[in-house]
Amino acid sequence: MKTINEAPLPGIGRKLWLQTDQNERVSIIAYNGGEYEIYLIPKGEEFPTAAVQLTAEEANVLGTAFPRENVEQAVPHLESECVVIGPASPHIGSIADSLHNGSAFIAAIEPVASNGVVRAIGYNIMAGDTLYIVGTTEDRRQLIEVLQTDA
């Protein structure tokens, strides 16, 4: 039986993914506000080659196309933590979703200029932003080290 893997993204929502029989991975970020991002990671690739954003209504409509069955849930060993971008970081102006290391990626951002959490897709990092990093402990540690390195 296939399992849908799930990991909490504190303050953001949750990440879900499925490994297909063709060794492709379908990954979903389910935001607390009801929006979704769906990614396709082809066989042998580490990063997605396709993505789509859905509103809660669109996701619900899409979900009706699939039969309702009991699915065994498995919680992987992914964790998250935050890092604040310093004023001398060489990553100021970088697009957040382009920065990753192994399983670690920037799942969301709390911009210095607002009181909310936003998606990392297409976001240009600014000094003072709080980045929510998700991944295995080692990959996350390495990505945070890179992000905290000053120019």
CA–CA dist 61, 48 (Å, integer): 24
pLDDT (0 to 100) of residue 150: 66
Q: Any bridge partners for residue 102, and if so which?
A: none
Across the range 12-26, mean pLDDT stands at 89
| Per-domain residue ranges of the chain | 3-74, 79-148
Contacts of 113 (CB under 8 A, 6+ apart): 126
Model pLDDT for residues 6-17, shown as the tens digit of each residue:
888 888 888 988
pTM recorded for the entire structure:
0.52
Q: What are the structure tokens assigned to 30, written together?
A: 């389910």
Is 143 within 8 Å of 104 (Cβ atoms)? yes
Tell me the percentage of the chain whose pLDDT exceeds 90.
Answer: 19
Q: Any bridge partners for residue 74, and if so which?
A: 5
Q: Which amino acid is at 91?
A: H
Q: Of 19 and 2, which is predicted with more confidence?
A: 19
Backbone angles phi and psi of 76, in degrees to 5: -75, 175
Which CATH class name applies to 79-148? alpha beta
Model pLDDT for residues 105-130, shown as the tens digit of each residue:
888 888 888 777 787 888 899 999 98
